[in-house]
Amino acid sequence: MSKFTKLYEVDFYAWTIEQAKFLKEGKWDGLDISNLVEEVESLGKQQRQELRNRLGILLGHLLKWHFQSSHRSKSWFATLREQRRRILELLEESPSLKPYLPESLEKAYQDALDLAVRETPLNYEDFPQTCPYAIAQILDSAFFPGEPLESDPS
């Protein structure tokens, strides 16, 4: 076990501080390249996973809004607003995630179905098996599927 690996495994935070210091000072021979590569790759995967998770929550609430219109609430409305805002912020901070949207949407829709079934009395068969909304609609802060109700929160 190298001195790098030992610190990495024993005290991750101390390892990050040390690696940042070496980078700032240009001490390339002190860098733990293999673990740095692993951590940088992991950061990218976390960004994609966050996009998928937020899309899943957003889609789940769009399904609930659409298919359980009589139960619409300020809480659902707030969740839709927050998830849209967070997704747009994520895409603004990391524009290279945009091409990942279609693939992410496909996977997130399955999570959305699980959420909608778990949180409503509806079954999987009550929802479309593929996402009924376009990406532009999903991210549009003015898009709320289904018939508008007088009692809709806003």
Residues 86-129 pLDDT 10s: 999 999 999 999 999 999 999 999 999 999 999 999 999 999 99
Inside any domain, residue 59 = yes
CB under 8 A, 24+ apart: contacts of 118-124: 119/60, 119/64, 120/64, 120/67, 120/68, 120/71, 122/67, 122/68
Task: Please check the confidence at residue 36 and state whether its pLDDT lies above 80.
Answer: yes
120 DSSP assignment:
S
- Average pLDDT over every residue of 37-48: 91
Contact 105, 135 (CB under 8 A): yes
Quote the CA–CA distance of 54 and 80 in Å, as a whole number.
10
Tell me, yes or no, whether 20 lies in a domain.
Answer: no
Measured CA to CA in angstroms, residue 28 lies from 18, 43, 70, 120 at distances of: 12, 21, 62, 55
Residue at 93 is within a domain:
yes
Is residue 111 a part of any domain in this protein? yes
pLDDT in tens, 73-82: 999 999 999 9
Domain interval for residue 70: 46-139
Does residue 75 sit within a domain? yes
Say if 32 falls within a structural domain.
no
* Residue 40 is assigned to a structural domain of this protein: no
Residue partners of 7: CB distance under 8 A and separation at least 6 = 14, 15, 18, 32
What is the count of structural domains for the chain?
A: 1
Kindly report the pTM of this predicted structure. Answer: 0.83
Instruction: Kindly state the DSSP code that residue 106 receives in the 8-state scheme.
Output: H
| Residue 82, both tokens | 């927050």
Does residue 18 fall inside a structural domain?
A: no
